[in-house]
Amino acid sequence: MILYLEIEFGRVVGALIENDEVTDYATLSDINTADDLAEVLSQFSANDRSDVDQVQAAIGKLATQDQRGELPSCTAILAPGYGLPVETETIANHTKSIDGGLTPQGQVTQPPPTEINTDTENAVVSAKFGHKNPDYEMDIGAEIAASSIRFGHKVSGEMGFRERTKTAVANVRLSQLYHSIKDQLKQAVSSADIEAPLYAIRSDGTLANLDTIDETPAMLLSGVVAARAFGANSRVERDGAVLTMTPDTTYIVPPFIQGIPLEQGYFAGDLRSGYTSIQTVSVPIGYDTPVSQLISANIDSSKDLQSVLRPGDFNDEDSTLASGQIDNKEKVRTELIAELRSSVKELSQSASTVDTLIAGDPYIASVINELADSFGAHGIVPDTVTTVGAFSCSNSEIQITVRLQIDTARNIISVNTNGEIYSEQMDLSKKLNRLDVEDFVKEYVTNSLQKHQQPIASVDIIESRVVTLVEDDTQIGELHTIIAEGTAKPETGMK
Give the containing element (helix H, strand E) for 291.
helix 291-297
- The answer to whether residues 84 and 132 touch, using CB atoms and an 8 Å cutoff, is no
Site for another protein in 64-83 (CB under 8 A): 81-83
Of 158 and 318, which CB lies nearer to another protein in the complex structure?
158
- Is residue 266 within the footprint of another protein (CB under 8 A)? yes
The answer to whether 357 touches 379, Cβ cutoff 8 Å, is yes
Separation between Cα atoms, residue 319 and residue 86, nearest integer Å: 43
Kindly state the smallest distance separating residue 131's Cβ from another protein, in Å.
Answer: 9
CB of 471 to another protein, least distance (A): 10
Q: Which residues contact 337 (CB under 8 A, 6 or more apart)?
A: 367, 370, 371, 374
Of residues 145-174, those binding another protein (CB under 8 A): 158-163
* Shortest reach from residue 106's CB to another protein, in Å: 10
Comparing CB distances to another protein, the nearer of 457 and 470 is: 470
State yes or no: residue 33 binds another protein (CB under 8 A).
Answer: no
The H or E element that residue 175 is part of is helix 161-191
| Residue placing its CB nearer to another protein in the complex, 109 or 450 | 109
**Separation between Cα atoms, residue 119 and residue 182, nearest integer Å:** 28
Minimum CB distance to another protein, residue 273 (Å): 8
Task: Report the distance separating Cα 449 and Cα 80, nearest Å.
Answer: 33
SS3 88: helix
Closer to another protein at the Cβ: 425 or 474? Answer: 474
- Amino acid in the structure at residue 355: D
* 468 touches another protein (CB under 8 A): yes
Instruction: Find the part of the chain contacting another protein (CB under 8 A) among 31-39, 235-243, 270-278, 372-380.
Output: 270-278
How many residues in the shown chain lie near another protein by CB under 8 A?
A: 35
Nearer to another protein, 130 or 286 (CB): 130
Cβ pair 195, 495 in contact under 8 A: yes
Q: Minimum Å distance from CB 480 to another protein? A: 12
- Single out the residue of 9, 129, 151, 199 in contact with another protein (rule: CB under 8 A): 129
Bridge partners of 149, per DSSP, are 123
Stretch that binds another protein, among 27-35, 250-258, 359-367, 469-477 (CB under 8 A): 469-477
Give the contacts of 484 (CB within 8 A, at least 6 positions apart): 401, 402, 403, 404, 441, 442, 445, 459, 460, 461, 462
For residue 267, state whether it binds another protein (rule: CB under 8 A): yes
| Residues at the interface with another protein (CB under 8 A) | 81-85, 101, 103-105, 107, 109, 128-129, 132, 158-163, 264-267, 272-274, 279, 465, 467-468, 470, 473-475
